[in-house]
Chain A
Amino acid sequence: MPACTGTMKMSPLVLWFHKLGSPPYFYRLAGRFLPWLYAIALVTGAVGLYGGLVVAPADYQQGDSFRMIYVHVPCAWMSLFVYAFMAANSFVALVWRIKLSETLAMASAPVGAAFTFITLVSGSLWGKPMWGTWWTWDARLTSELVLLFLYLGVIGLYHAIEDARQAARAAAFLALIGVVNLPIVHYSVVWWNTLHQGQTVSLMGQSKMSSSMLWPLLTMAFATHVYFFASLLARSRAALLALESGKEWVRGIAQTQEAHAHG
């Protein structure tokens, strides 16, 4: 029996992946991770913000206004990272039709939009004192605004279609098309001569920043990543309950929860 031997040969990792794809297992596992993720994000976020506001010295050119970097840049990184994550899950959802990937893709859109929104607002607040304007149609700013519209488009399309799984696939398709915008956002400061400055921190090679200014930024980058996964898991859990509302495991949760709520 070839099918049987196939199962036998499955490695523990593959088996675990299959198990993870099952909504009740994912729901329980995510529930166990969530408090820790929130706690880690909160503590490292508080340390990072303290470092940025208090410990880091004022910039010799921009004075204290440069402290906006500690919210602006981590959120800008997350706006791209979350989109890439959403697109990767959309790809898996469209090709292999895995329900959990649909859920993860759709659950990352709102938090991605939140990070993009913060990036645009904090950038605007930084632009006013440094460039003398709240907004300019510069390549970096415009492509980041397009990124926000892409997120909103994905969210909107997902909520516009009645059938949740069909909606997720349509929105996943839109998310995949929008990937074109990611390199444009990233390289906009290189390809065009823009008002927005080039990158200060680089993954490979030397960062153009002193360590006392750099560590709060990296701490914030870590905190926002952890927060993203917390938000993602929390939203996925809520979405899975709604998607599987007819299933036995969800009924059990609803009854015990509401029994507690009613006293």
Chain B
Amino acid sequence: MAEFLHMGGYGAYVWAAYTVFVVVLFADALMPLWQRRNTLREIDARLRRESNRKSTP
């Protein structure tokens, strides 16, 4: 196991490259989820405001 992590002396470089790959793509996958939730929240809030305005003259 230690030998595997060591990667013949290149461990730091190899693992850093793989980590950047996983972290960046993971962040990329989260962004649209977050964006979609925010948009839906904004629209829902706007609809609520509009219906409140209508019911209380």
Contact = CB atoms under 8 A, between A and B. Distances in A.
A238 to B, nearest CB: 4
B4 to A, nearest CB: 8
Interface size class of B (residues with CB under 8 A): 20 to 34
Contacts of B10: 63-65, 67, 129
Contacts, number: 104
Contact of B24 (A114, A245, A261): A114
Interface size class of A (residues with CB under 8 A): 35 or more
Given A63-B9, A241-B39, A255-B47, A122 B20 contact: yes
Interface of B: 4, 7-11, 13-14, 16-18, 20-21, 24-25, 27-29, 31-33, 35-36, 39-44, 46-47
28 contacts: A49-B18, A54-B4, A63-B8, A64-B14, A65-B10, A65-B13, A67-B10, A68-B14, A71-B18, A75-B21, A110-B28, A114-B27, A121-B17, A125-B17, A125-B20, A231-B32, A234-B32, A242-B35, A242-B39, A245-B42, A245-B46, A250-B43, A251-B43, A253-B40, A254-B47, A255-B47, A257-B40, A261-B41
